[in-house]
Chain A
Amino acid sequence: MAVKRTPLHDAHAALGARFVEFGGWEMPVQYSGIIDEHTAVRTRAGLFDVSHMGEIEIAGPAAFDTCQQLTVNDVARLHDGEAQYSLLCLPNGGVVDDIMVHRLAVDRYLFCVNASNADGDFGWMHEHRGNAAVINRSNDFALLALQGPRATAILARLTTLPLDRIAPFGFAEGEITGQHALVAHTGYTGEDGWEIYCAPDRVRIVWDRLLEVGAKDGLVPCGLGARDTLRLERCLPLYGHELTTETTPLEAGLGWVVRLNKGEFIGGDALREQKRRGLARKLVGFELTEAGIPRQGYPIVDDGNVIGCVTSGTKSPTLGKAIGLGYVPAASANVGTKLAIEIRGRRVAAVTVQLPFYRRS
């Protein structure tokens, strides 16, 4: 299958981006450098092209019921113009994908899904559509993420939308630099920011104008490299790492997303049963206390025995420490547990820590 490109590919190349394949897409991994871009988002602002993400709409009089069946969060908590983080689960509680659900209207919901899962999600949602229509709208949208403490001030220069009245997880439709867009007060970096859904043939105008009017605030284009280190510091899970069909949301520490009492939904029985019996394993965060960098797949060792596996790891640009996430038995999951990470056959000391690693003040 051919690797896909976003409508901004030429813009990225002109900015000196280095590209990487991710989820079937050729995406910018960095421009000036991951640490530079990471720091820009933490202290000023960064602009990401995340047009590889998929969009799927559930529509019709039965849309609400279908959304409740398909997702673990409670769609009844949403009003028009509100979004919620949620998950699609298998009947056994394994995770199909993590998603954002936007209520466009009482009978229309827009799901934003991971690029690598977009086709699979669409198939899954279509199979479980009930009496609602499931429409793959991925080709209708490009998606930008404007993130960082200066993001709102920058965006306000290009829109008449009342950004100060859009609460976190709220969204509104309006114009940005004259282009129709859906602007959501959401993100994946741990900073304040916005995600901007607009037409693929208009996104270049929005991208260029944002970079232009944000330059004086220190806005820079950012790639998937910084997106990954930013989300990891804030402990936002990444599908294929912390979340897979082999892990449940409860094990991943996402119990707050799962509304076990909302009524029937796919995976509900298995998750209620898992909660009743208690968790055998949990996702933990750790720091290395010796030199090294944890990476996905490295074994986690306790008292000489391999007890788990690293799901994500990096050298945290904000904290200057080597940090990671991984699954361990519940007995080893308490904060302060001394563990080791096996790196190229060598055991490197680590200690479990309170999550998230980073939270904005």
Chain B
Amino acid sequence: MEFPEDLKYSKEHEWVLVEGDVATIGITDYAQEQLGDIVFVELPAVGDKAGKDEAFSVVESVKAVSDVYAPVSGKVLEVNDDLPDSPEMLNEDPYGDGWMVKIEMSDKTDLDDLMTSAEYEEFVAQEKE
């Protein structure tokens, strides 16, 4: 299982790549493995407001429906338009082609609540027990 070091992680198993004021967000390798085969993704619209810890997207595996929570507040700048047609990218490449949205952050202190790669790896190890 991968935990790229350049990313930050939420307790809800989202990852965040920070570039200036823009946060690129997706679900982690652990999250996609737990969900199983992902067959449907519902994304927000560009321009939508995202609130920290609020659901901004839905992913569905064969069996279950799961909300994806925004790890930061802000405005949706861009969404991955390829995902609705190829939701399996969330399983195959969660940190790459499976990215979900880019959010222009309204409050960068939101990032303080996120975990580093090492912290998240530890968090996942505990959750597995």
B-contacting residues of A (Cβ < 8 Å)? Answer: 18, 29-30, 33-35, 225, 228-229, 291-293, 295, 314-315, 317, 322, 344
Contact = CB atoms under 8 A, between A and B. Distances in A.
Contacts of A229: 62
Contacts of B42: 344
A33 B60 contact: no
B62 A35 contact: yes
Contacts of A225: 36, 62-63
B37 A291 contact: no
Contact of A292 (B36, B40, B63): B40
Contact of A317 (B40, B60, B62): B62
Interface in B39-71: 39-40, 42, 58, 60-63, 65
A225 B35 CA distance: 12
A200 to B, nearest CB: 28
B57 to A, nearest CB: 11
B62 A315 contact: yes
Contacts of A344: 42, 58
A293 B63 contact: no
Contact of A293 (B36, B37, B60, B84): B60
A314 B62 contact: yes
The 3 A-B residue pairs with the shortest CB-CB distance, nearest first, are A315-B39, A34-B62, A35-B37
A254 to B, nearest CB: 25
A317 B63 CA distance: 12
B32 to A, nearest CB: 11
B37 A34 contact: yes
B84 A291 contact: yes
Interface residues of B, number: 12
Interface of B: 36-37, 39-40, 42, 58, 60-63, 65, 84
Contacts of A29: 63
A282 B104 CA distance: 50
A293 B58 CA distance: 11
Contact of B40 (A30, A35, A315): A315
A60 to B, nearest CB: 43
A325 B65 CA distance: 18
A34 B63 contact: yes
Contacts of A293: 39-40, 60, 65
B84 A34 contact: no
B83 to A, nearest CB: 12
7 contacts: A33-B37, A34-B62, A35-B62, A225-B62, A293-B60, A315-B60, A317-B62
B85 to A, nearest CB: 9
B45 to A, nearest CB: 13
Contacts of A292: 40
A296 B61 CA distance: 14
A107 to B, nearest CB: 43
Nearest to A225: B63
A98 B42 CA distance: 36
A29 B39 CA distance: 17
A29 B34 CA distance: 12
Nearest to A344: B58
Nearest to A226: B62
Contacts of B60: 293, 315
A29 B60 CA distance: 16
B64 to A, nearest CB: 9
B75 to A, nearest CB: 22
A293 B40 CA distance: 7
A264 B63 CA distance: 41
A291 B62 contact: no
A344 B57 CA distance: 12
Contacts of A33: 36-37
